[in-house]
Structure 1
């Protein structure tokens, strides 16, 4: 097969829009161009106060790219991916061109089946520990996408991260532009998908609270499993690739029966991000924090229709900061 078709495009986009994004902003566009599927950052969905560098948009579009890759592979039409292929069009994040047709692998089918089931769960998780073999699968998922996942082990490590995360959250809560932008996007997170009201004993910061307090005995897990995902570099392409790795980790967790939620405050505040990097003692740059566990059933947040995220092949989309 020399080119993708409109049917391939729709199949890829239906999966891609299920990717996570900061504040459910869904900052992506898709088009068919010269037989390739191209995935772009949507400048109309930017978060200029919160995402000043464009990091969060690139992470989200990278995650959408991974879902599109899975959908194509699951249909027997896998793709070769080039990130940021056109310097003259910085808003173009990924180009997917047809590879040799082949049946999907078991792993691809398993992860693709998890796409509609993956969503953030901001509610408390059960205290049950995540088995060692599942932790190994999560680490391997990140490694297979040229990234690393550092799982925090022990109360001391979690407490240290908690201090960094809460400090970053306090910095953001003093930023009036940040608060105003959060309020603007509050509608994108339905009440059922929000966290319960914060309480002093909470180990990790949350955002987008509902108005309900937790019943007694429904605290967050006392020792959450926290993973920091990072990549060797910190260029625009590195951040887009981190989005692909993040999505593979999230889908691996979903396929294993885990719930997840994302924590980005320590990444959004430069000083906190640097402190987190130094505390890990790893080469490279942290890009997102993931909380893993076993939770009560929850529902995904709404997504834009496929027709809303398609754009013409001749349309140049401007870039986002840092591209």
Structure 2
């Protein structure tokens, strides 16, 4: 299919798949613009959905938008199209994150199209995982997925895993002491339907109560962010989380916006590959949101570079789906 045949319906299908991507607090900070005549899509960041306190440099915003970009590539391949991506094509327009020229299939189409089946099965799981360890062969596949996007995925040893978990606890304490950070998190979470008459219960973004997962009943902090602190849910329940979480660190050689865009695509490729392999996943970004903690997340014994995300892997519930904004709100056609 040539670029001239990319119509509004095709673009809507691609974007509907793209927006299943994860983003910080499910803010969905992306916008798409189709230039029908040229057969190109623009991916733009939405500054109105940025986290001004915990993501002032918009690193996490870039990761979320890039995860959507990877989904767009998967959808294009599944629809028989090739997606030729240019990152940050206009230095004078920093919110234009990428352009995608849609055209004939490329060599990577078969591998990308194979991931389409899990786009809507991938959910962040804030539930406990089992004790079964992820097989080395599966970890190797996830490392290979990250390398295909120019990034590196490393699995820290038990010593450094404990260090990262301690940093998660430190980050929680930082947020508890920062009213602006607490308010920012609260603004993107939704309580139970009867939690408060003044709290909106239906929205197409943010983290709903159904996706909070249980509270941790163990002595240690759970290896997932507890969104229920902002909006307590009376019947939420308690659970014991795994004593030794299996973590992986996604890193890039540099720490520029282009690196963040590569990392976001690598992150989504890893998450989709993990889902296809029967793994449950969650992401832990808390210690990366505080500059004084982020540098310590890096494993000094591994050449991971700049850590862009901490990924938790294991076997357990896949997690609840979170809402998505309608395509008509994020896609403009010219």
21-30 or 89-98: which moved more? 89-98
**Corresponding residue for residue 164 of structure 1:** 167
3-state SS of the aligned residue for 2:116? helix
Is 1:7 the equivalent of 2:4? Answer: no
Q: Structure 1 residues 204 and 46 mapped into 2: Cα distance closer, same or farther (>3 Å)?
A: same
Is 1:121 the equivalent of 2:121? Answer: no
CA contact (8 A) 2:163 2:297 kept: no
Distance of 2:18 and 2:312 partners within structure 1: 22
Is 1:23 the equivalent of 2:25? Answer: yes
**Corresponding residue for residue 249 of structure 1:** 270
| Superposition pairs of residues 87-126 of structure 1, within 5 angstroms | 87-101=91-105, 105-126=109-130
Is 1:140 the equivalent of 2:144? Answer: yes
CA contact (8 A) 2:20 2:120 kept: yes
135-144 or 162-171: which moved more? 162-171
**Corresponding residue for residue 330 of structure 2:** 309
Distance of 1:297 and 1:113 partners within structure 2: 15
Q: Structure 1 residues 152 and 135 mapped into 2: Cα distance closer, same or farther (>3 Å)?
A: same
3-state SS of the aligned residue for 1:117? coil
Is 1:195 the equivalent of 2:197? Answer: no
For structure 1, the 5+ residue unaligned runs are 314-323
Tell me how far 1:108 sits from its aligned partner. Answer: 2.1
For structure 2, the 5+ residue unaligned runs are 191-205
CA contact (8 A) 1:74 1:104 kept: no
**Corresponding residue for residue 282 of structure 2:** 261
Distance of 1:204 and 1:280 partners within structure 2: 22
CA contact (8 A) 2:29 2:47 kept: yes
Q: How many pairs are equivalent?
A: 310
Is 1:272 the equivalent of 2:293? Answer: yes
Distance of 1:293 and 1:64 partners within structure 2: 23
CA contact (8 A) 1:226 1:290 kept: yes
Distance of 2:269 and 2:108 partners within structure 1: 16
Is 1:206 the equivalent of 2:225? Answer: yes
Match of 1:46 among 47, 50, 54: 50
CA contact (8 A) 1:38 1:92 kept: yes
Residues 211-266 of structure 1: CA deviation (Å, up to 9, x unaligned): 35655xx4111211101101111111110111000000000000001111110011
Q: Structure 1 residues 268 and 207 mapped into 2: Cα distance closer, same or farther (>3 Å)?
A: same
CA contact (8 A) 1:73 1:108 kept: yes
Distance of 1:240 and 1:44 partners within structure 2: 19
Match of 2:180 among 161, 177, 196: 177
Q: Structure 1 residues 213 and 300 mapped into 2: Cα distance closer, same or farther (>3 Å)?
A: closer
- The TM-score normalised by the length of structure 2 is 0.87
Residues 45-74 of structure 1: CA deviation (Å, up to 9, x unaligned): 122122111111100000000000110011
Q: Structure 1 residues 279 and 265 mapped into 2: Cα distance closer, same or farther (>3 Å)?
A: farther
Tell me how far 1:102 sits from its aligned partner. Answer: 5.8
Distance of 1:157 and 1:277 partners within structure 2: 9
After TM superposition, what 4+ stretches of structure 1 lie above 4 angstroms from structure 2? 102-106, 212-215
CA contact (8 A) 1:266 1:272 kept: yes
What RMSD, in angstroms, separates the aligned Cα atoms of the two structures? 1.9
Is 1:225 the equivalent of 2:227? Answer: no
Is 1:298 the equivalent of 2:319? Answer: yes
